[in-house]
Amino acid sequence: MGSVFGRVFRVVTFGESHGPAVGVVVDGVPAGVAIDESLIRRELERRRFCQLPILNPRCEDEEFQILSGVKDGFTEGTPVAVVVWNRRAISDYYSELWMRPRPGHADLAYYLKFGRFYDHRGGGRASGRETVARVVAGAIAKAVLRQTINVEVASHLVELGGVAISREDYTFEDVVKAWEKPLPMVDDDAMRKAIDVLISAARDGDSVGGIGEVITTEVPPGLGEPVFDKLKADLAKAVMSIGSAVGVEFGLGFRLARMRGSEANDQIVLRDGRPRLETNRVGGMLGGMSIGEPIRFRVAFKPTPSIRKVQRTVDLEKMVETTITFKGRYDVSTAPKAILAAEAMTAIVLVDHAIRAGLIPRVIKR
């Protein structure tokens, strides 16, 4: 079914934006992985952005509970289940939107597929709130990667509301430290301008999109299988399953399409006694498989569909055209939270493929 992701390391998310809770069950977690609440809490805190209320007016406390799969601080090899409570949902805003789908949102698609049985409050399963479950699963996946094959995953924003970073020389450590700022951008000047754009959009009752980048440390070679189970293909599916994602590019991506082969090709050199890419323009994969380089890709996210401007829609009960104006709380941009979800999905994919490749055992020896 559509709420299950992964082949061996399997992630199942559940819950709606305005239901009692959202949560995740992660099956296939090796036994012996050190997991505690602080690890999960740290990832959920990164997602909150409460210091910028225009990015998270709901500002949940993200109270959670580990229900199963962890004993005395270590995974048991059984499914790990975590629930995150919804404490600050306000559903009254959505009463007048019932059967009046918001333009740009999934309301219409859910109605056309499920009829009147979909939950429109806050977008239901199509809400950005669903990504909380992915972030929790990503926290577990990151712990597995760190404690087995020494791989780290990070992300940041390279563009928000049309404001792009100007730096090209940033490192993995720069990206990690960017999350100590109000917005995770390695360019402070761009960050300040982006915040101004967010404030302006909020005043106008509008929203903005953005572009994020996910990068890793060196990933062991051999992850991914020809032809349809390529690592690149599974990463693309993983990040494109995020609601606001509208495009993905690996390495230099679309810029490669404008180059000649002599410019685009990464020259192969010997480094530390093994073949390496001199430039890694391709983003760490060849033939869709990892080759021992850092993986790098960018994801584009559309503007938040819920805005306070008058929009045209159809009253599905009366089948007449009408207009709506959203009056509830909404994030002026989903991109800052969405790139964190993309980071989490990357960790999940890497664990799944590393287990399938035999690089991660079923029991971590201590």
> Which of these, 195, 136, 185, 115, lies nearest to 156 by C-alpha position?
185
Q: How confident is the model at residue 95 (pLDDT cuts 50, 70, 90)?
A: confident
- Between 325 and 83, the more confident residue is 83
β-bridge partners, 84 = 22, 64
Is the pLDDT confidence value at 91 over 80? no
283 three-class SS: coil
Coil vs helix vs strand at 130: helix
365 in a domain, yes or no?
no
Position 193 in a domain: yes
Angle at 233 between CA 343 and CA 290, to 5 degrees: 75
Tokens 């287990």 belong to: 355
What's this model's pTM, rounded to 2 decimal places?
0.96
Q: Residue range 153-158: average pLDDT?
A: 98
Question: Is 87 within the bounds of a domain?
Answer: yes
Per-position DSSP letters for 8-41, written without gaps between them:
SSEEEEEE-TTSSEEEEEEE-PPBT-B--HHHHH
Give yes or no for residue 89 having a pLDDT over 80.
no
Percent of the chain with pLDDT over 70: 100
Q: Give the pLDDT confidence of 228-247 residue by residue, as tens digits.
A: 999 999 999 999 999 999 99
Structure confidence at residue 1 (pLDDT): 61
Q: Cα(126)–Cα(22) distance, rounded to whole angstroms?
A: 12
What Å distances lie between residue 145 and 33, 76, 139, 151, 256, CA to CA?
10, 17, 10, 5, 30
Query: Which domain does 172 fall in, by range?
Result: 4-356
The backbone torsions φ and ψ at residue 67, rounded to the nearest 5 degrees and listed phi first, read -90, -30
CA angle 219–242–177, rounded 5-degree value: 50
- Residue 298: give its domain's CATH number: 3.60.150.10
- Residue 366: CB atoms within 10 A of its CB come to 9
Number of domains in the chain: 1
Per the CB < 8 A criterion, the answer to whether 213 and 205 are in contact is no
**pLDDT of amino acid 97:** 84
Residue 60 pLDDT level (bands cut at 50, 70, 90):
confident
Residue 366 lies in a domain: no
Domain contains 363:
no
d(CA 60, CA 308): 22
Q: Within a domain: residue 308?
A: yes
Any idea which residue has 């036994």 for tokens?
31
> What distance in Å separates the CA atoms of residue 241 and residue 117, rounded to the nearest whole number?
22
Residue 361 belongs to some domain of the structure: no
Residue 138 falls within a domain, yes or no? Answer: yes
Is the pLDDT at 365 greater than 90, yes or no? no
Q: Who wins on pLDDT, 306 or 147?
A: 147
Span 194-209, mean pLDDT?
A: 95
